[in-house]
């Protein structure tokens, strides 16, 4: 160990003095660690002191300005308040129209936003009564139980918002089919409606596009439209009736009728024949007692005969169906019934139409053609094209009246067009006429002409006798010739 100060470091050559401020290379590990501790300790003290001073300075500054900071925070929260409330009310949303169910068809819409089958909304389905034909609709939604101030309104029609964002109060244009409080709606919206309700304006409109749309608002006077909506086509206009070309004619167990298409530009129109038996010139019933042909059309009697699903099965109360409020049992139902006057008018028209339909449902025994479409037994052909057509399977001697109807692609049917009457008769050839006049001959050769007088009949008999005599003589000669040849042999 070298005597002296700490600036002296032992070296292999002995002890030497290290001037102050100079750096010498450490000679062992202990010296290296000692140097590192001395080098780190002093700067760390200076950094800790600096950080403490900066923190104290910042706290002092914040202490002077904290009232202003709190005021800014309060103002910012006030600005966010209305936006947050609006965001809460708009969380109610329509995801998709999940399903539309008819009594005889169920359409799983998946992500579709349009019904492409107009046969679901035609004149015949529209004329069905509410008790016999209903449409069940399910709308998948995002619920919002926190929204206790707004209601939803499901409306069928087109252009159902006016310039002031109010739902149009006209049952001939738009019909409210379901509504309820948003905060009370815990599941998807499910409701039932008649086809008539989904066809505002009556059962015989020209082809047009409508939609089921969901609106949201505190009442019907200030609403906003939600997407998506469900578009669909309606067509209740009957096709142009065909025109008779010629009177029918009768044959053996058949009749021939002729018609042509009416003056129209309609596409995909088909035709079908109807046959009715006559007694004393009046319709007595169908041409057959059992059905042999399938109608290509439908009628109120056939299309409406299927019983619809009950309200309980659909998950909707009967009270909700009659009021149209979708089951809203609270104050929101009052707002939802603002359109009830229009709905009542539509239902009154529905009742009148049902009575008219019931009056035409018959088997045709009254002599009117109105009941022919109600009974499939009258159908006596498949789908046919205009022209001259033969109807087979008729009874000779029975008088018939024939009709033709036109059917469009939507399933609407024209009124039956009367093609006239005829009676099938058996067709006789010469031999049948000879026998009918009392002829006794059977077999043989030659030709004979039927006569319509006694002289002609006598002549025919004499000719037949002579013919038989000649045949007999020829046969005897052949026998004699054969006998002679046998003797010679």
pLDDT in tens, 159-177: 999 999 999 989 899 999 9
Q: 474 in a domain, yes or no?
A: yes
Query: How many residues can be counted in the chain?
Result: 489
Q: Is 268 exposed, middle or buried (0-12, 13-18, 19+ CB in 10 A)?
A: exposed
Residue 325 in this model has a pLDDT that exceeds 70: no
Give the per-residue pLDDT at 41: 53
Q: What is the mean pLDDT of residues 82-87?
A: 46
Q: What is the mean pLDDT of residues 313-339?
A: 35
Q: What is the mean pLDDT of residues 409-428?
A: 91
CB 234 within 8 A of CB 202: no
Q: 448 in a domain, yes or no?
A: yes
Q: 87 in a domain, yes or no?
A: no
Q: What is the mean pLDDT of residues 260-287?
A: 92
Note the Cα 85 to chain centre separation in Å: 39
Query: Cα separation of 354 and 361, whole Å?
Result: 11
Give the per-residue pLDDT at 190: 95
Q: 470 in a domain, yes or no?
A: yes
Q: 480 in a domain, yes or no?
A: yes
Give the per-residue pLDDT at 134: 80
Residue 380 in this model has a pLDDT that exceeds 90: yes
Query: Cα separation of 400 and 257, whole Å?
Result: 11
Q: 481 in a domain, yes or no?
A: yes
Q: Is 459 exposed, middle or buried (0-12, 13-18, 19+ CB in 10 A)?
A: middle
Give the per-residue pLDDT at 211: 94
Q: What is the mean pLDDT of residues 440-468?
A: 64
CB 105 within 8 A of CB 120: yes
More reliable by pLDDT, 443 or 354: 443
pLDDT band at 312 (very low <50, low <70, confident <90, very high): very low
Q: What is the mean pLDDT of residues 256-285?
A: 92
Containing 247, the helix (H) or strand (E) segment is strand 243-251
pLDDT band at 69 (very low <50, low <70, confident <90, very high): low
Q: In what order do the strands lie in the sheet with 400-407?
A: 282-286, 270-279, 400-407, 417-422
Residue 9 in this model has a pLDDT that exceeds 50: no
Which position has the token pair 């002890």?
15
Q: 461 in a domain, yes or no?
A: yes
Q: What would the pLDDT profile of 37-48 be if each residue is shown by its tens digit?
A: 555 555 544 556
Q: How many CA atoms lie within 13 A of 64 on its CB side?
A: 5
Q: What would the pLDDT profile of 281-296 be if each residue is shown by its tens digit?
A: 999 999 998 888 999 9
Q: Among candidates 278, 293, 281, 283, which has minimal Cα distance to 395?
A: 278
Q: 399 in a domain, yes or no?
A: no
User: Considering its fold, how many domains does the chain have in total?
Assistant: 1
Q: What is the mean pLDDT of residues 370-399?
A: 92
| Domain membership of residue 440 as a residue range | 430-488
């Amino acid at each position: 160990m070298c005597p002296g100060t700490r600036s002296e470091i032992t070296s292999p050559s002995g002890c030497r003095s290290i001037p102050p401020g100079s750096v010498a290379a450490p000679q062992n590990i202990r010296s290296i660690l000692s140097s590192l501790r001395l080098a780190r300790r002093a700067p760390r003290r200076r950094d800790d002191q600096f950080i403490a001073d900066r923190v104290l300075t910042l706290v002092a500054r914040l202490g002077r300005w904290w009232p202003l900071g709190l005021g800014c925070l309060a103002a910012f929260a006030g600005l966010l308040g209305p936006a947050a409330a609006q965001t809460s009310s708009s969380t109610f949303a329509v995801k998709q129209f999940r399903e539309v169910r008819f009594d005889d068809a169920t359409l799983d819409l998946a992500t579709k936003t349009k019904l492409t089958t107009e046969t679901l909304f035609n004149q015949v389905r529209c004329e069905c009564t509410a008790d016999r034909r209903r449409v069940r609709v399910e709308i998948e939604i995002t619920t919002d139980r926190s929204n206790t101030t707004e209601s939803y309104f499901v409306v069928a029609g087109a252009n159902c918002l006016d310039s002031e964002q109010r739902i149009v109060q006209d049952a001939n244009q738009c019909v409210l089919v379901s509504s309820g409080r948003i905060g009370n709606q815990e599941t998807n919206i499910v409701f039932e409606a008649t086809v008539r309700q989904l066809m505002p304006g009556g059962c015989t409109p020209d082809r047009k596009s409508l939609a089921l749309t969901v609106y949201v608002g505190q009442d019907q006077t200030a609403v906003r439209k939600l997407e998506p909506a469900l578009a669909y086509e309606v067509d209740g206009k009957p096709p142009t009736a065909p025109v008779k070309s010629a009177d029918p004619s009768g044959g053996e167990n058949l009749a021939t009728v002729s018609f042509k298409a009416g003056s129209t530009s309609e596409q995909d129109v088909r035709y079908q024949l109807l046959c009715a038996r006559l007694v004393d010139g009046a319709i007595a019933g169908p041409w057959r007692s059992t059905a042999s042909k399938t109608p290509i059309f439908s009628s109120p009697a056939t299309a409406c005969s299927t019983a619809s699903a009950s309200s309980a099965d659909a998950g909707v109360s009967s009270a909700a169906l009659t009021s149209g409020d979708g089951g809203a049992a609270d104050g929101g139902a009052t707002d939802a019934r603002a359109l009830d006057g229009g709905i009542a008018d539509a239902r009154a028209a529905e009742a009148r139409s049902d009575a008219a339909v019931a009056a035409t449902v018959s088997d045709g025994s009254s002599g009117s053609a109105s009941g022919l479409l109600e009974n499939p037994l009258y159908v006596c052909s498949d789908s046919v094209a205009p022209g001259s057509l033969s109807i087979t399977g008729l009874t000779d001697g029975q008088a018939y009246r024939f009709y033709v109807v036109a059917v469009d692609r939507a399933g609407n049917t024209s009124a039956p067009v009367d093609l006239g009457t005829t009676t099938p008769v058996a067709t006789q050839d010469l031999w049948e006429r000879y026998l009918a006049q009392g002829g006794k001959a059977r077999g043989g050769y030659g030709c004979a002409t039927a006569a319509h007088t006694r002289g002609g009949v006598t002549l025919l008999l004499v000719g037949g006798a002579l013919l038989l005599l000649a045949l007999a003589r020829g046969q005897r000669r052949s026998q004699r010739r054969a006998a002679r040849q046998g003797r010679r042999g």
